[in-house]
């Protein structure tokens, strides 16, 4: 089972802190060390709403702006990760960050759950993969089977790993439904693991290993008290090392007991965690977890107007953003309709940041 240590943006733009996090991840058993290549305007509209921080209430867009760094930052992180014997992977959030990430030749590309339906991003990556078969890891939080199928129809299934996920911070262990791991692998014909945002370093990772998961991703931090966006749900180095140890113990059980290893592992876990183990295994049926149901559509990407526009204006590419809706804006059309929207005319006035709706546009002289 491959282990990904998600540093994300917890480096805060400080290269020395990033190297300390890489050290921590490598020493704690990570096979892959992961970052997030953030440009705020690829993720959110400036009017998306506010986030509450210990220092006060600030626009979420501004918080993401604080996390932007130069490409050279990640190039050095990649070099240092390799020096420590691990592989480098990173999540892009738009076409610019993807292009810059591919330029430094990462060991794998990670598509985060909210970008599972970022159709332009997936198409650009698929085009690259026609000549350079880079491994791709896809998280599937806040998604339905059809969303996963559409993403895989664009990217293909070769050299793809799918991670079951619950997009909630923290994610409740009992909602993880880890019997989905073998089911998703069978449905889509790709290896499957888990991206885990729960707090326990042992429970979800060990159960995922017991049901045949091939990869696990978990956040890592130097301290839960620092101000990284994901630090409160991340594991410290000591906790991450415990998780890695437990996963390797599960692997040893499979070598010793073969097909009986699953029952052995689950029995051992049940002796400590009781009936929580069966709850975490779940039904194996793919559906939105209760913790993420309300976010479907808002966390994922949709089409948004990037300026105030008047009825009769023709919509150009720069007028539309493929963005997470998040806090206060209205949800727009699915990104698959971007080509239909570009070149159409507005049938009514629209506001900056508003989600694009069919009733607002006219295509080929026919109002949709």
Residue by residue, DSSP assigns 104-153 as T--SEEEE-GGGTT-HHHHHHHHHHHTTS---EEEE-TT--HHHHHHHHH
pLDDT digit string (tens) for 131-149?
999 999 999 999 999 999 9
Q: Do 118 and 163 fall within a single domain?
A: yes
Beta-strand relationship, 50-53 and 160-165: unpaired
> Angle of helix 71-83 relative to helix 95-103, nearest 10 degrees?
40
Confidence at residue 224, expressed as pLDDT on a 0 to 100 scale:
86
DSSP secondary structure code for residue 165 in this structure: E
Domain containing residue 172 = 2-281
pTM of structure: 0.95
Q: What is the mean pLDDT of the chain?
A: 95
Q: Do 275 and 324 fall within a single domain?
A: no
Q: Do 232 and 341 fall within a single domain?
A: no
293 inside domain: no
Q: Do 28 and 139 fall within a single domain?
A: yes
How many residues comprise the chain?
368
Residue 35 confidence (pLDDT) above 70 = yes
Q: Mean pLDDT across the stretch 258-270? A: 96
Tally the domains of the chain.
2
295 inside domain: no
Q: Do 77 and 173 fall within a single domain?
A: yes
Q: Do 266 and 357 fall within a single domain?
A: no
Q: Report whether 296 contacts 192 (CB < 8 A).
A: no
Identify the band that residue 366 occupies on the pLDDT scale cut at 50, 70 and 90: low
Confidence at residue 225, expressed as pLDDT on a 0 to 100 scale:
80
26 inside domain: yes
Q: Do 259 and 355 fall within a single domain?
A: no
Q: Do 178 and 138 fall within a single domain?
A: yes
CB under 8 Å to 284, separation ≥6 — which residues? Answer: 177, 179, 180, 182, 183
Q: Mean pLDDT across the stretch 234-253? A: 98
Q: Do 196 and 320 fall within a single domain?
A: no
CATH number (domain holding residue 195): 3.20.20.70
The secondary structure element, H or E, covering residue 361 is strand 361-363
Q: Do 325 and 211 fall within a single domain?
A: no
pLDDT digit string (tens) for 81-119?
999 999 999 999 999 999 999 999 999 999 999 999 999
Confidence at residue 55, expressed as pLDDT on a 0 to 100 scale:
67
Confidence at residue 363, expressed as pLDDT on a 0 to 100 scale:
81
């Amino acid at each position: 089972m491959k282990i990904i240590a998600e540093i994300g943006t917890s480096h805060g733009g400080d290269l020395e802190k990033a190297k300390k996090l890489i050290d921590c991840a490598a020493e704690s058993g990570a096979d892959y060390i992961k970052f997030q290549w953030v440009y705020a305007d690829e993720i959110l509209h400036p009017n998306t709403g506010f986030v509450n921080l210990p220092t006060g209430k600030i626009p979420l867009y501004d918080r993401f702006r604080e996390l932007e760094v130069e490409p050279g930052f990640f190039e050095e992180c990649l070099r240092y990760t390799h020096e420590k014997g691990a592989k480098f992977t990173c999540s892009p959030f738009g076409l610019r960050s993807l292009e810059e990430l591919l330029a430094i030749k990462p060991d794998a590309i990670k598509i985060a759950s909210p970008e599972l339906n970022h159709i332009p991003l997936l198409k650009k990556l698929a085009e690259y993969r026609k000549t350079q078969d880079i491994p791709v890891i896809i998280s599937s939080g806040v998604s339905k089977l059809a969303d996963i199928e559409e993403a895989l129809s664009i990217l293909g299934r070769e050299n793809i790993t799918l991670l079951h996920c619950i997009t909630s911070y923290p994610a409740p262990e009992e909602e993880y439904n880890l019997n989905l791991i073998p089911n998703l692998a069978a449905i889509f014909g790709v290896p499957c693991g888990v991206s885990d945002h729960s707090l326990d370093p042992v429970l979800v990772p060990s159960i995922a290993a017991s049901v045949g998961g091939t990869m696990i991703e978990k956040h890592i931090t130097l301290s839960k008290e620092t101000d990284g966006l994901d630090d409160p749900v991340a594991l410290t180095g000591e906790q991450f090392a415990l998780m890695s140890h437990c996963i390797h113990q599960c692997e040893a059980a499979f070598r010793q007991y073969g097909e009986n290893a699953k029952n052995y592992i689950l029995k051992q876990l049940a002796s400590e965690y009781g009936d929580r183990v069966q709850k975490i295994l779940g039904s194996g049926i793919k559906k939105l977890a209760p913790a993420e149901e309300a976010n479907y559509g808002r966390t994922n990407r949709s089409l948004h107007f990037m300026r105030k526009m008047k009825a009769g204006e023709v919509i150009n590419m720069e007028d539309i953003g493929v963005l997470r809706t998040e806090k206060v804006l209205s949800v727009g059309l699915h990104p698959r309709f971007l080509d239909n929207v570009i070149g159409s005319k507005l049938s009514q006035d629209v506001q900056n940041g508003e989600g694009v709706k069919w009733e607002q546009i006219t295509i080929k002289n026919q109002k949709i």
